[in-house]
Structure 1
């Protein structure tokens, strides 16, 4: 088991969480405590699921949860953009982190499915 904070997927998802916290500070009040809290909670759950998956032998369920987290974050960031609560520059940066995290989680998930199938 690798240390969770050395995992590339953990690092990029942590950077994503920090960026989402910074962005939510500048949101209009109407959205800050609804949409802003939802995306921060979802990002926190993502990191927790990555940590838990790294510590468990059977990772598939937790990786499925992480995949769901990343899709919810992707949806909410699009809502941010459509409501004009995020700059285009920040939207692109966040989208790149989301995509990077998603690819790593999917690769990890695929690897775990193959391992489970071979046993």
Structure 2
């Protein structure tokens, strides 16, 4: 078992969380404490599910939860963009991190399913 903080999927999701915190800092007040908190909570849960999946023998359920977190983050990010609460540059950077995280979690999930 690798140390969770050395997993590439953990590293990229951690970077995603930090970036979302920085972006939500600059949101309009109406959205900062609703939409901003929700996306930060989802990304925090994502990291927790990655950590737990790395430490447990039965990973499938935790990886499914992580996959769900990714989809909610994608949805919330799109709302960010539509409400003009995120720059196009930040949107692209966050989207790339989400995509990378999603691919890694899906590969991990498939590997666990095939065991």
* Structure 2 unaligned regions, length at least 5: none
Instruction: Give 1:24 shift.
Output: 0.1
CA distance in 2, matches of 1:28, 1:107: 37
Match runs of 1:56-67 below 5 Å: 56-67=56-67
Instruction: Give 1:62 shift.
Output: 0.0
Instruction: Give 1:105 shift.
Output: 0.2
Compute the TM-score of the two structures, normalised by the length of structure 2: 1.00
Compute the TM-score of the two structures, normalised by the length of structure 1: 0.96
> Which of structures 1 and 2 has the bigger CA Rg?
1
* Structure 1 unaligned regions, length at least 5: none
CA distance in 1, matches of 2:102, 2:65: 12
Instruction: Give 1:75 shift.
Output: 0.4
Are residue 87 (structure 1) and residue 90 (structure 2) matched?
Answer: no
CA distance in 2, matches of 1:16, 1:75: 15
**How many residues align structurally?**
115
